[in-house]
Copies of this chain bind each other. A is one copy, B any other.
Amino acid sequence: MAFSERVTRLKSSLIREILAAAQRPQVMSFAGGLPSEAMLPVLEWEDLPVAFGQYGMSEGEPALREALAAEARALGIDCQASQVLVVSGSQQTLDLAAKLHIDTGTEILLEGPTYLAALQIFQLFGADCLTIPQEHDGPDLLQLRARLEKHKPAFIYLIPTFQNPSAVCYSETKRAAIAALLDEFGVTLIEDEPYRELSYDGVNAIPIAGRLQRASWIYTGTVSKTLAPGLRVGYLIASPDLFPHLLKLKQSADLHTNRIGQWQALQWIGTEKYRQHLVQLRDFYRVRRDAFQQALERHFGELADWQVPQGGLFFWLTLKQPLDTRTLLAEALNRDVAFMPGEPFFAEPERNPGNLRLNFSHIAPERLDEGLKRLAAVIRHAQAAQAA
């Protein structure tokens, strides 16, 4: 068999295996990152023009690009519709950015922890992943500066707003400082914001891309967390020096994003109906977050530390008595509980044991308490065995 060298880096996806196991209906799953089905809006299709069945532009639908640019400008990103590329979910932004920037051995900067699927695709393309530790309010600035002084990374990949998995939202101070550092060192920013609209306590900080003066940037978002992931409609907005390359890479990847999903997204983005839907969504998830926090206090108060997430879909627990949480999975699934071990979210899993990512958006409220109780029991049992 004649495979490429990159295929040797194609890992068996732990997420895939956990999610497959979590499909069993009796499993109480904290593992995925699924929106609640209860909050999927009913989509109206009767006005979809027949002409949307035809091939479209690789850039995306012009009206949707205009609407997305207007939304981004309202967030503080100085951009035009000509900088907007509609993509097949924001996961595709990572594929295009990897193609644009990464050769085997190319150094890039990431938060530790970072989004697992980003880590996987950057490693697939052969990136050398340098990590900046995450603090409660964003990356460690001293370590970021030290990295920038010693290395010339192709880009830095950041999730500043309700990060997956850590739920961290960067402070104003760190956003400003990071923008200044990237300008100073001329390092391209890739800013991933799938969770921005899922803000439960009023946080609404200006993106880092909106604070840059000179550095190149790609800002990416999606309708997957707010509207319907099944549409596979995301977008990137890029500085003018990067856009033409990303457009050609998009065209070679899949010609263009499906137009029916784009049309549907356009029925919502920027409308009063969408604003009302987002209010309902935040109210719904805030209630789930608060109930999760209470259940966590009951069952994990002595086992772990965590911040209450101000947005997003996850709690990130740090065990007071660390162990490799991947070793807990089999027993948890035996007890019909699924969760995401924290280690795979780090470029160096072995050096970062003892975290769990728990999704609070998808589990049925009546199963929450039992699920966390069982998971805590699995951890206590493993820690007792380890101590023995």
Chain A interfacial positions (CB closer than 8 Å to B): 1-7, 10-13, 16, 32, 34-35, 37, 40-43, 45-46, 48, 50-56, 58, 87-89, 91-92, 95, 99-103, 106, 117, 120-121, 124-125, 152-155, 188, 216, 224, 227-233, 241, 245, 248-249, 251-261, 264
Contact = CB atoms under 8 A, between A and B. Distances in A.
A253 to B, nearest CB: 5
A46 B45 contact: yes
Nearest to A120: B252
Given A54-B35, A230-B52, A4 B121 contact: no
Copies per assembly:
2
Contacts of A91: 252-255
A13 B58 CA distance: 12
B95 A253 contact: yes
Contacts of A255: 89, 91, 117, 232
A230 B258 contact: yes
Contacts of A252: 10, 91, 95, 117, 120-121, 124
Contact of A37 (B6, B46, B54, B152): B54
A116 to B, nearest CB: 11
A101 B257 contact: no
Contact of A3 (B51, B55, B100): B100
Contacts of A100: 3-4, 7
Instruction: Return the 9 tightest CB-CB contacts between A and B, nearest first.
Output: A53-B228, A45-B45, A230-B259, A232-B258, A2-B154, A40-B53, A88-B254, A55-B229, A121-B252
B50 A16 contact: no
A255 B254 CA distance: 14
A142 to B, nearest CB: 23
B37 A51 contact: yes
B231 A260 contact: yes
- Give the one of A3, A87, A92, A230 with max B CB within 10 A: A230
A54 B34 contact: yes
A50 B42 contact: yes
A103 B232 contact: no
Contacts of A35: 54
Contact of A152 (B2, B55, B256, B260): B2
Given A103-B4, A106-B4, A152-B2, A254 B95 contact: yes
